[in-house]
Amino acid sequence: MIIEVQAERTYPVIIDTAWKVELSKLLVGRNKAAIIVSEKMQASIKDLIATDAEVLIFPIPDGEPGKSSATLNKIWDWLGAAGFTRSDLIIAIGGGAVTDLAGFAAASWLRGIDWVAIPTTVAGAVDAAIGGKTAINSEYGKNLIGAFYSPSAVIIDVSWFDSLSDRDFAAGLAEVVKAGFISDAKILQLISDSKILDLRSNRAAVIELVSRAIAVKAEIVSSDFKENFGREVLNYGHTLGHAIELHCKYDLRHGECVSIGMAFMAQLQLSLGLISSELAQQHIDILKNLGLPTTYKRQAWPSLLSSMYLDKKSRGKTLRLVTIKGIGITDRLENPDEKILLAAYEKVSL
Ligand SMILES: NC(=O)c1ccc[n+]([C@@H]2O[C@H](COP(=O)([O-])OP(=O)(O)OC[C@H]3O[C@@H](n4cnc5c(N)ncnc54)[C@H](O)[C@@H]3O)[C@@H](O)[C@H]2O)c1
Ligand SMILES: [Zn+2]
């Protein structure tokens, strides 16, 4: 299956395929390609890819530490030493950290060379690799240095997910659940009664959920590539989620923080009369069923609230939350009463 994304260029997200076969096709006519992969996952790509191109492997530190200016410098040196030209290709194989870094390396080398994303985590497949945002971290914060720079193709091979822990698998599904609430009721139907282990063993269900979530993101970014009003809906559950990520010093996965953020939104929207108690309960039931957290520390509230005001999506000094009024019907809420926010938080805090 192919889902097209229209951004500064139109590119395919190729789903349910064998990544090596797909990659071989994309290498036809190329002289050189560089695979950027984390040191931890280097072993899983060592078998040869069928191609006449010269394939170089650039291993980088695993996870967030790999998304640094030091790594990027090293990659620029490697590309320079190998004589990479505009007709060569960068290939990112890994989670969101690798695709973010490799995409930015591709955006900056010779003012932009082609790159292909091969996400290996659920979060990477449904979120990081789709939408054209590339970045590295700065000492002053995550993702502060980056560019909008779309890949030429994204290859999704769900067999990568087999080696993920249940925790990482579920954390990625939080973004799938989000896509359900903001746009696709069928996702929620499919995921409703699924325990994580049953889901993982059902390849067809994983493919359907991942494809649907990608379709949701693809449609939103195609209509609003550069993160204006339309793209903001992808931030459902994320304003509190980002604040929790900061507060726990990234101890919890991004998807886990977003899960708590969506549980909070359920309570907030219920108290404002925006959604029914059934829909609020559906948030909690689905997230809990997947083993995702739906509560956080009560005493963290003052710090969470001030981070929410600083969240980049909150535009200046206003606090702006993406809301739903029903499944797939999104809206925005500006500067809600802090007493109402606290009351909703108390329902999801321990
Ligand atoms: N560009 C965007 O629009 C966007 C959107 C969301 C998130 N992101 C970024 O994505 C990153 C998070 O991505 P992530 O959740 O994929 O984390 P990650 O890339 O840090 O990977 C998490 C861990 O999983 C391991 N891993 C990767 N694939 C594996 C596999 N198949 N089997 C076993 N282990 C595997 C990695 O080695 C790593 O240790 C963050 O840096 C975030 O800022 C970007
Ligand atoms: Zn997210």
Ligand number nearest CA of 59 is 1
Does position 242 have pLDDT exceeding 70, yes or no? yes
Closest CA to ligand 1's atom 44: 128
Closest CA to ligand 1's atom 19: 95
Ligand number nearest CA of 99 is 1
Q: What is the pLDDT of residues 175-199, one digit of tens each?
A: 999 999 999 999 999 999 788 888 9
- Helix, strand counts (H, E) of the chain: 13, 11
Higher pLDDT, 227 or 77: 77
CB contact at 8 A, 98 and 38: yes
Ligand number nearest CA of 164 is 1
Closest CA to ligand 1's atom 4: 128
* CA 332 to centroid of ligand 1, rounded, Å: 29
Rg of the chain (C-alpha set): 20
Does position 45 have pLDDT exceeding 90, yes or no? no
* CA 241 to centroid of ligand 2, rounded, Å: 8
* CA 142 to centroid of ligand 2, rounded, Å: 13
Q: Closest ligand 1 atom to the C-alpha of 124?
A: 16
* CA 155 to centroid of ligand 1, rounded, Å: 15
Q: How far apart are CA 221 and CA 132, in angstroms?
A: 9
The pLDDT of 62-86, averaged and rounded, is 96
Residue 230 has what pLDDT? 81
Provide the percentage of residues in the chain whose pLDDT is more than 70. Answer: 97
Does position 313 have pLDDT exceeding 60, yes or no? no
Q: How confident is the model at residue 312 (pLDDT cuts 50, 70, 90)?
A: low
Does position 141 have pLDDT exceeding 70, yes or no? yes
Provide the percentage of residues in the chain whose pLDDT is more than 90. Answer: 85
Name the residue of 64, 100, 164, 210 whose CB sits within 8 Å of the most ligand 1 atoms, as the mutation to test its pocket: 100
Does position 314 have pLDDT exceeding 60, yes or no? no
Name the residue of 44, 137, 168 whose CB sits within 8 Å of the most ligand 1 atoms, as the mutation to test its pocket: 168
Does position 311 have pLDDT exceeding 70, yes or no? yes
Q: Closest ligand 1 atom to the C-alpha of 130?
A: 3
Q: Which neighbouring-strand residues pair with 146?
A: 135
Closest CA to ligand 1's atom 26: 95
Q: How far apart are CA 120 and CA 117, in angstroms?
A: 9
And the tokens for 83? 């004589």
Higher pLDDT, 327 or 316: 327
Residue 227 has what pLDDT? 65
CB within 8 Å of 7: residues ≥ 6 apart: 131, 132, 148, 150, 221, 222, 225
CB contact at 8 A, 11 and 150: yes
Q: Which domains does the chain have, with CATH numbers?
A: 2-163 (3.40.50.1970), 166-347 (1.20.1090.10)
Higher pLDDT, 141 or 216: 216
Residue 316 has what pLDDT? 59
Which residues, judged by CB distance below 6 Å to any ligand atom, belong to the binding site of ligand 1? 38, 40-41, 62-64, 67, 94-98, 100, 120-121, 123-124, 127-128, 131, 133, 142-143, 160, 163-164, 168, 254
* CA 80 to centroid of ligand 2, rounded, Å: 34
Q: How confident is the model at residue 50 (pLDDT cuts 50, 70, 90)?
A: confident
And the tokens for 217? 């993101």
Ligand number nearest CA of 38 is 1
* CA 348 to centroid of ligand 1, rounded, Å: 27
Residue 149 has what pLDDT? 96
Q: What is the pLDDT of residues 251-304, one digit of tens each?
A: 999 999 999 999 999 999 999 999 999 999 999 999 999 999 999 999 999 999
* CA 96 to centroid of ligand 2, rounded, Å: 11
Ligand number nearest CA of 261 is 2
* CA 136 to centroid of ligand 1, rounded, Å: 13
* CA 60 to centroid of ligand 2, rounded, Å: 23
DSSP for residue 1? -
- In the chain, DSSP assigns E strands to 2-6, 10-15, 32-38, 54-60, 89-94, 114-119, 133-138, 141-148, 153-156, 320-326, 329-334
The pLDDT of 221-233, averaged and rounded, is 79
Higher pLDDT, 194 or 147: 147
Does position 67 have pLDDT exceeding 70, yes or no? yes
